[in-house]
Structure 1
Amino acid sequence: MKLNTIKRTAICMSLFAAVGCTDNFEEINTNPQGFSQEQLEQDFNHIKAGFAPMFNNIQVIGSGLEDQYQLQQNLNSDIWSGYMATPTGFRGGSNNTTYDLIDGWNDAIWTNAYPNVMFNAYDIANKSKGKFDNFYALSLILKVEGMHRVTDIFGPIIYSQFGKNAPIGYDSQEEVYNQMFSELDFAVTELTKRVDAGEPTAFADADMSSYKGSYKAWVKFANTLRLRLAMRIVKVNPTLAKEQAEKAVAQKFGVMTANSDAFRIISPTFFNSIAKINDWLDIRMSADMESILKGYNDPRIAAYFETSAQFPGQYKGIRTGINIGGKGDHERFSGIGEVVQTNVIFLVTTAEAYFLRSEGALRGWNMGGDAKTFYEMGIQSSFDQRGAAGVSAYMADNVSLPIAYVDPSFPENNGGPVNNITIAWDEAVTNEVKLQRIITQKWIAGFPEGQEAWSDYRRTGYPKLLPVVVNNSGGKISTALGVRRINFVQSEISNNNAGVATGLAKLGGPDNGGTRLWWDVNTPNF
C-alpha cells in the first residue's frame, strides 16, 4: 500500500467538497486551455465531460490511484467476499481483515464516490434534465450502478438530499432503493423511446464501456441492474422484489443474454487496479477459493490465479483473519492471474444475469424459464467469458466437493471444507440446497468483483466461508457471520455530524460493522 497518497486532500473535506463550497464554481471549472463555454457546449461536451469521472470511480481506475482502489474495495469486500486474502499484517495485524475496522481506510469508499460519481451525476442532471434527457438517462444508470454499492456498504446514505444546504440528511436504505428503481424507470423509458424512433446515439465518444453508445445495450444493462437490486431486497420486501424482477425481464429489450451484453468499463491505458496491488504482493488467492476451485477441479482457476512461487505448479491460498508474523510467510502464495491483467473491468456480467434468473425462477417468479436451465446457462456463460474448456463434464459432476484448507507452515490456520455442495443440478433437493448451488456458482463466476459477492454472502449466507481465526472487533462483529457493513465515515462525522445523526436514526442498530443493513434480514431464505 502506498500510504503517502492516503492523505490526499479535496477542495473541502467530506461531502461539502461536492456541493457545499461552490461559490467559485465557474472559476474552478474554467477550462485551462481557454475554451469558452460556448465552445465547450458544442457537441454536448459540457455534459459529456462529467461521465469519465463516473466511469473511473465506480471502481477506482488510474495509474497511481491503485491505493485508492485498495482502500475503496480491495481491503474490505474483495476479502470479506472470500475471493482474496492479504499476506500483509497491516497495522500489526489489527485491521479490516481481523474485523478491527480502520476508519482511515474506509473513508476512501465515500470520498471517491461522492465527488466523482454522485457530484457528476448531479451536475449532468442540472445541465441535461428536461433538455437532453438521453444524457440524463445515461447518467442515472451510472449513478445507480455506482451508488448502490455505497448504500450496500454503509446502509443509510446521502442520496435524495444531495445538493441541499448543510446539514445534509441521510436517506434510509429503503428510500435509496425506491429512488433507484424510479431512476431506472425513467432511464429505461427514455432510452427505449429513442431506440424505437431510430435515433442515432450521441454518446459514443463519451462511452467508456463496451457499448459504444448503444442505447439498446444501456437499456439491457439497466434492466439487469434492476434485477440485481430486486433480488437484493427479496427477504425484506418479497412483493416489490418480484415486481421489479419480472419488470426487468419483461421489458422489450430484456436483460443480458449474450456475453457481449456484459457491462465492461474499458480504460484507454490503465489495467485493473488489482494487478498493481498484486505486484505489491499485498493480495493473494484466498483459502476459500482454493478449497472450492481445487475441490471442483474448476478449469477457471488458471485464469483467476497464478500458481504459487513457493510451491511450484500448485495453487495455494491464504486464510483471512489469521495472525501474520511477517509478510514473507505467505507472500509467495498464489497471486491474482490474467483476469486482472487487462484494461477491461467487468462490473455486471451475463453469467450473473442468468444466475439471478435462476434464483428468481426458484422462487416462483416469471423469469422466462426454469431454475435449472438458467443455472446451467450461467455456468456456460462464465466458461465462455473466461475461455475455459470442459463445461459439459463440469456441469454433470455430482461427486466433487470443496477440499480442506491446509496452511503448509501454520497448522493453526487449517480448516475443513465448509461449503459442502456439489456442482450438478438436482431437482430432488430442497430449495435451500438449490440456492446454495446457484450462489456458489454465481460466486465463482463473479470473480474478481468482490463487492457483489460480499453482498450476496450477507443476503444468503452462501457460499459458506471459513471464519476468521482472529477477531479483533471487541465483540462488535460476529466471527460466524462476518462483517455486515462499514461504519459511517469520519470525514462526515467531522463535517456533517447532524446529517450523520439522521443516518444513524435510520440504521436500526449501533454504528459498527456488526449491524445488519435493511435488506440483510435475519430470516430464512425461503
Structure 2
Amino acid sequence: MKSLHNFVYTIGLASMLSFTACSKFVDINTDPNNPVTAQLPLLLPATQVSMAANMYQLNSGTATFMQYTVFSSGLSRLQQQGTSFDDSWNGFYTQTLNDLESVIRASAVQEQWGYSAVAKFEKAYLVSLLVDMWGDIPYSESQQGQNNVSPKFEKGAEIYEAVFKTIEEGIAEANKVSAATLVPATADMIYGGSKSSWLAMANSLKLKLYNQVRLVNPARSADTIRSLIANAAMLMGGSNNSNAQDFTFRFGPGQNPNNRHPWHRSEYQGSKTFYQNQAFIDLLFNSDDPRLRYFIFRQNATAGLNNSNNSNGYYGRNPGDGTAAPADLNRRSTFGIYPAGGLYDNAPINNLPAANQYLTNTGATGSLKVVGPTDGNGAGLMPFITNAMVKFIRAEAALTLNTGEDARQLLKEGIIANLTSISTYASSNGGVPMAAAAINSFAEAAAQKFDAASANDKLAVLITQKYIAQFGNGMEAYNDYRRTGWPALRPPLSPLNVFPLRLYYSETELIANTSLGENAGRLQVKQQTTPVFWDK
C-alpha cells in the first residue's frame, strides 16, 4: 500500500509543480494554503493522476484473472482476500471521486462548464467501472464527507442509469463552450483540453456501456448503438481509423519524483513482483503474433517453464501454479516496451515455426539482459478506452445486435488500430516499428480466420483478438470474459476457488460501513459467485 500511495503522491506532485511554476506571485493578503474556492486548473489533473495511479492493483489483479500476467499466486489460483483490491477501492473513493465531486460542485458555482463536463465524463467512466468490478457499490450517498461516513450500497443497474444521465449532462455542458478547448491544456493531462476529443470519449463510453448491457435489454442497446454509429465521426477513430483520440493516461519518464508506469516501477526498478502468464505467452507465440516482442521482454535466451534451460527464453508461470518461487528473478520474462515503457525484445527467438510470417527472426539483431532502472524510460500508458476497442465493440454489436455494420471490416480495423498504436509508441521509445504492409497483412490473415469460423465461433475469433489488443487493461478483458465466455482461458493448475464473478470489497469498507449491519461477511463471500447485473 505504501508504494502505491507514494506513487500517487509523487506523480501528483510532479504535475502540480509543472502547473504552479508558471503561476504569478500570489497576493500577500491571500493565504495560498487555504483557498476559498477550488483551484480547478490544479484539481482536475489531480483526478486524472489519482485515477490512473489507483488502478494499479485493480488492473494487475484482473490481468491475473485474465491470464495476461501473474500479480499474485493467490489471485492466479482465483482466491480473493479482503485486501486484494482495497488499495484501488479506497483510493478511488477517498481521492479520485472526492476530487471529481469538488470539481463538479465548484464548476457549477463558477459556471466553468468545460471543467464540469470533463469531470462528469471521468466520473461516468470510473463509476461504471466500479459497478463492472464490484456490482453493488456506494453511490448517491458517497462523497459527503463527515455528513455520511456509512453510505448505503446501491444496485449496479440503477447506478448505470445515473451514469448514462451523467454522460448526457457532460455533453450538454461541453456544448455550452464555444471554444475548441474545454479547459486550458495544462489542466488536462489526457486530451490537453480538446473539446472534440472529450466528446469522442463520451460517445465512445456510451457505446461501450450500451454494448456491455446488451444482454439485459437488447432492443435498447441496439437502438442506441445504431444512433451512435450513424454519426461515427463523433466516436474515437472518426472516419479515418485514427488513434489520436484514444482515452489513455500517459505516464512520465521521471525518477525523482518517480512518475513512471507502475509495471515499470515494479519490474525494472524494484525486486520484481510479477511473472508473465505462460498462457498468454503461448497464445501469442503459437499464433504468429508480432506483438509478443512488444508485450514481453526476455531476460534470458534459453530459460523456459519450470526453470528449464533449453527453451526460448519465454519463462513465465502457468495460471494457478501454487508452487513457491525459485531464485529466478534474473530469468523471468518481464514486461516489454508496450504499455509499460520497458525494453523492446529484438533478440533471436529459438524454436520459431518455419512457417511464421509475422513473428520471425528477420532483423532480430538485439541482445537480452537482466533489466534495471535505466532500461526503458517507463513513460508507458494506461489504455482506458481506445479506437481499437471501439472498433471491436462495434464489430460485436454487428454480430450480436444486427446493427448493420460489417463485423469483418471492423475486426480488421481494430487490429490495424492496435498494431499501429503499438508501432507508433515503439518508434518513439526505442523500439522497432512495424511496417504498414505487415500490419495490414496480419489483420487480413485474422479476418480470413473470421471468415472460416462458423457463425457461433465468429464471436470467439473477435473477442480473442480484442483480448490481445487490450493487453495493459485487465478490467475490460475481465468484463468481456464474463459477458461472452471468451477468450478461452487455460484451466488453472491448482485453483482454490471458482472464477470470480465480482471482486471482493475492501476489508476497510466492510468493517467501517455500518449501513451493512451484520451482512458484511455474507456479502463478501457472495461476491465470488454473484454475477454483475449485465452478466446474463
Which of residues 60, 65, 71 in structure 1 aligns to 2:57? 71
SS at match of 2:63: helix
Q: Report the AA paired with residue 186 of structure 2.
A: D
> TM-score, normalized by length of structure 2?
0.75
Aligned 8 A contact 1:204 1:212 in 2: yes
Which of residues 21, 44, 50 in structure 2 aligns to 1:51? 44
> TM-score, normalized by length of structure 1?
0.77
> What pairs up with 1:272-421 in 2 under 5 angstroms?
272-279=261-268, 280-309=271-300, 311=302, 314-328=313-327, 332-339=331-338, 340-341=340-341, 342-366=379-403, 369-387=405-423, 388-389=434-435, 390-397=438-445
Aligned 8 A contact 1:216 1:253 in 2: no
SS at match of 2:163: helix
Note if 1:138 corresponds to 2:104: no
Note if 1:238 corresponds to 2:255: no
For the structure 1 residues 427 and 6, does the alpha-carbon distance in structure 2 shift closer, same or farther, using more than 3 Å as the test? closer
For the structure 1 residues 353 and 500, does the alpha-carbon distance in structure 2 shift closer, same or farther, using more than 3 Å as the test? farther
For the structure 1 residues 345 and 493, does the alpha-carbon distance in structure 2 shift closer, same or farther, using more than 3 Å as the test? closer
Which of residues 148, 152, 174 in structure 1 aligns to 2:128? 148
- Give deviations 1:23-53, integer Å, cap 9, x for gaps: xxxxxxxx9x985479968xx9622332223
Q: Report the AA paired with residue 164 of structure 2.
A: F
Give the drift of 1:7: 9.8
CA distance in 1, matches of 2:448, 2:514: 52
Give the drift of 1:360: 1.2
CA distance in 2, matches of 1:6, 1:205: 25
Aligned 8 A contact 1:156 1:503 in 2: no
- Give deviations 1:39-68, integer Å, cap 9, x for gaps: 968xx96223322232122231xxxxxxx6
Aligned 8 A contact 1:170 1:500 in 2: no
User: What does residue 247 of structure 2 align with?
Assistant: 263
Give the drift of 1:381: 0.7
User: What does residue 118 of structure 1 align with?
Assistant: 97
* Count of residues in Structure 1 that have an aligned counterpart in Structure 2: 444
CA distance in 2, matches of 1:182, 1:501: 33
Which of residues 205, 210, 219 in structure 1 aligns to 2:186? 205
User: What does residue 83 of structure 1 align with?
Assistant: 68
CA distance in 2, matches of 1:454, 1:499: 27
**Stretch of structure 1 that moved more, 278-287 or 422-431:** 422-431
CA distance in 1, matches of 2:413, 2:117: 30
> What pairs up with 1:90-101 in 2 under 5 angstroms?
95-101=74-80
Aligned 8 A contact 1:289 1:317 in 2: no
- Give deviations 1:358-396, integer Å, cap 9, x for gaps: 1111124436x3111111000111111111342233234
Give the drift of 1:256: 0.7
**Stretch of structure 1 that moved more, 354-363 or 146-155:** 146-155
Q: Report the AA paired with residue 358 of structure 1.
A: A
CA distance in 2, matches of 1:289, 1:98: 16
For the structure 1 residues 83 and 284, does the alpha-carbon distance in structure 2 shift closer, same or farther, using more than 3 Å as the test? same
User: What does residue 166 of structure 2 align with?
Assistant: 183
Percent identical pairs in the alignment equals: 20
SS at match of 2:334: coil
Give the drift of 1:240: 2.9
CA distance in 2, matches of 1:463, 1:335: 23
- Give deviations 1:144-163, integer Å, cap 9, x for gaps: 22222222111111112222
CA distance in 2, matches of 1:252, 1:456: 23
For the structure 1 residues 241 and 36, does the alpha-carbon distance in structure 2 shift closer, same or farther, using more than 3 Å as the test? farther
CA distance in 2, matches of 1:177, 1:321: 33
- Give deviations 1:414-452, integer Å, cap 9, x for gaps: xxxxxxxx7634446444311111111111111111111
Aligned 8 A contact 2:284 2:292 in 1: yes
For the structure 1 residues 201 and 519, does the alpha-carbon distance in structure 2 shift closer, same or farther, using more than 3 Å as the test? closer
Q: Report the AA paired with residue 440 of structure 2.
A: S
Gaps (5+ residues) in structure 2? 9-25, 304-311, 342-378, 424-433
User: What does residue 16 of structure 1 align with?
Assistant: none
Aligned 8 A contact 2:81 2:504 in 1: no
For the structure 1 residues 221 and 34, does the alpha-carbon distance in structure 2 shift closer, same or farther, using more than 3 Å as the test? farther
Q: Report the AA paired with residue 512 of structure 1.
A: Q
User: What does residue 511 of structure 1 align with?
Assistant: 526
CA distance in 2, matches of 1:362, 1:502: 41
Q: Report the AA paired with residue 51 of structure 1.
A: L
